Amino acid sequence: MFNNPASLWHWLGLRPLARHVVAPGNGSATAAPLAPVVHCRRASVDGLSIFYREAGAADAPVIVLLHGFPSSSHMFRDLIPLLADRFRVIAPDYPGFGHSDAPPASEFEYSFDRLAGVVDSLLDQLGVESAVFYMQDYGGPIGMRLAVEWPQRVAGLVVQNANAYMEGVSQAAIDVFMPLWQHGDETNARKLLLPATTRFQYEAGARDPAALNPDAWTHDQATLDRPGAAERQLALFRDYQSNVARYDAWHDWLRSHQPRTLIVWGKGDPFFTVAGAEAFTRDLTDVELHFFSTGHFALEEDALPIAALIRKRFAPD
């Protein structure tokens, strides 16, 4: 569809910077689009070194990208440049994920309250007073905690395969979590840490698995293979039941605050079902729902159209 960068930028309605390129053989200069610069930064938060990616103008409207399991801000590598000309984009890695510090579970509480607190403190440091929150997988419960705690900070929500309703929980997810919660049986939960499962999370439901970039699941698995990672992730698996316990409160918050919301959902997701996406429309009025023929990590195949929807819905005129 896009034979050159200029056609891509035109389709998205971008106005890229120009750089001069000398054409071989004749020494003439032509203008070519220059992609936004994505900075890789660190901040000290509660004694931890927290990694985050940032792009865009400091005074632009903010969009905060909250990643899922077992990924990191790496999952937004294609999306960030597509938004950075209209937004200040901030994508953190939670403690224990990506390039952020990963203290042992014996020294740090791996809970969703704690991860949300770290993100909250980071946003305070960065001076973020208002933002659109993009929530995927674990980003859902983290983003909803931030929204409930600081509703004035929420300029809108983008929900991408982040569940908040019981009807969105698939049997595959039940089979992982219920034995752990009810009997302390870690057998199925530990299977989520295996290389084959990490790859499965990317390929299941994808319309063209052979076109997926294997760097994505290789990057994720490298973090899962680090010393102490199993204990860190199992602690979060156990704590996930605290998210389910808050579903009703989150629904009340959505109904009372009615944030402008965009739902973009990979309908082939084996863990979070289409019904979970549709359930949001029960509590929200200012909402758009779009399904994509892809899986849990929809940005791997559909970063371009998802970026276009975000820009149309939230970018300033």
Closest by CA position to 237, among listed 278, 281, 184, 277:
184
Packed helices 112-125 and 229-245: angle between N→C axes, nearest 10 degrees: 90
- Residue 138: closest CA among 95, 197, 188, 89: 95
Phi-psi region of 98 (alpha: psi -120 to 50; beta: other; left: phi over 0): left
Collapsed DSSP state (helix, strand, coil) of residue 234: helix
What is the C-alpha to C-alpha distance for residues 108 and 87, in angstroms, rounded to an integer? 33
Q: Burial level of 112, CB count in 10 A (0-12/13-18/19+)? A: buried
Which helix (H) or strand (E) segment is 31 a member of? Answer: strand 29-34
Q: Which of 67, 74, 219, 296 is catalytic?
A: 296
User: What number of H helices and E strands is found in the chain?
Assistant: 12, 10
**How far is residue 52's CA from residue 73's CA, in Å, rounded to a whole number?**
7
* Beta carbons of 69 and 90 less than 8 angstroms apart: no
Residue 114, helix vs strand vs coil: helix
DSSP string, 132-156: EEEEETTHHHHHHHHHHH-GGGEEE
- What three-state secondary structure class fits 8? helix
Is 39 tagged catalytic? no
The catalytic residues are 296
